[in-house]
Amino acid sequence: MALALDRIYLGDCLALLPQIPDASIDLVVTDPPFAIDFKARKANYNRKATRVLDGYQEVSAEEYYDFSVRWLREVYRCLKESGSIYVVSGWTHLREILNALHEVGFHLLNHIIWKYQFGVFTRRRFVTSHYHILLGVKNLKKYKFNKIEHYPEDVWIINREYWTGKVKTPTKLPERLVEKMILYSSDPGDVVLDPFLGSGTVAVVAKKLNRRYIGIEIVPEYYELALKRLQQVTQPLFSSVTPADS
């Protein structure tokens, strides 16, 4: 049975992605595990442990490339010929993601740098205060690209969001960051997929921007948080992205 649109699902994406029909998705935006033994409960980002949901599931470094190829192959299958994918990655296993994208057949269109306002304090190396966002397309002649900014650069300076006093997941993409990806590479009514949904930001922003969505999340606590956030979105909103944004 095919996964229904405008719903999120609790489960392993490797088990659920095969239930999405071939060539039915317009855009994938996702932030997969980084394979860096992330300690979700530590106060690395000035979070109080009592407000950080437990259950973060990591993939081992030894399995990371095979895991990446497996989920990317499924995503490639269910994307339309005009489809695109944005993958958020740290630098530690960026090579594996790049190689996996190439192996399954994606064409790398851009390597975007997301610069945020702070990183984890270090003593003997530079502080990391950016993530990589890889934009891949299935067909170089058919992909969508809405030029929502006059001069769209590949460095995006967007601050992390502070959820003061709110329960949160240990990693969360800012809505403004996800909004840019969705606006650039999809149109209203298109279907947006996130196989690693986390706190639900991709589905929430897709709903706000009048896109259809499918989300998959393996951690029950994150799934429940995403479900609550989606229920609070009552109507589509206008975009906050302006030509002055970088």
Question: What does pTM read for this prediction?
Answer: 0.86
- The per-residue pLDDT for range 158-186, each reduced to its tens digit, is 998 765 545 555 568 999 999 999 999 99
DSSP one-letter string for 183-244: HHH--TT-EEEESS-TTSHHHHHHHHTT-EEEEEES-HHHHHHHHHHHHT--S-------TT
3-class state of residue 72 by DSSP: helix
How far is 214 from 1, CA to CA, in rounded Å?
14
- The per-residue pLDDT for range 181-216, each reduced to its tens digit, is 999 999 999 999 999 999 999 999 999 999 999 999
Every domain of the chain and the residues it spans? 23-186
Q: What is the pLDDT of residue 160?
A: 86
Q: Calculate the alpha carbon distances from 7 to 168, 174, 182, 196, 204 in Å.
A: 21, 21, 18, 14, 11
Burial (CB count <10 Å: 0-12, 13-18, 19+), residue 149: middle
Which two three-digit tokens encode residue 182?
């969705």
Q: What is the pLDDT of residue 47?
A: 38
Q: What is the pLDDT of residue 91?
A: 87
Put the strands of the sheet holding 79-89 in their side by side order. Answer: 7-10, 212-217, 191-194, 25-30, 79-89, 130-137, 107-115, 155-157
Residue 193 backbone dihedrals phi, psi, to 5 degrees: -115, 140
C-alpha 2: how far from its chain's center?
Answer: 22
3-class state of residue 85 by DSSP: strand
- All residue ranges of the chain with pLDDT < 50 are 38-56, 165, 240-246
**Under CATH, domain 23-186 is a member of which superfamily?**
Vaccinia Virus protein VP39 (3.40.50.150)
Q: Calculate the alpha carbon distances from 85 to 4, 33, 110 in Å.
A: 20, 16, 11
DSSP one-letter string for 95-146: HHHHHHHHHHT-EEEEEEEEE-S-----SSSPPP-EEEEEEEES-TTT----
C-alpha 112: how far from its chain's center?
Answer: 13
How far is 155 from 221, CA to CA, in rounded Å?
33
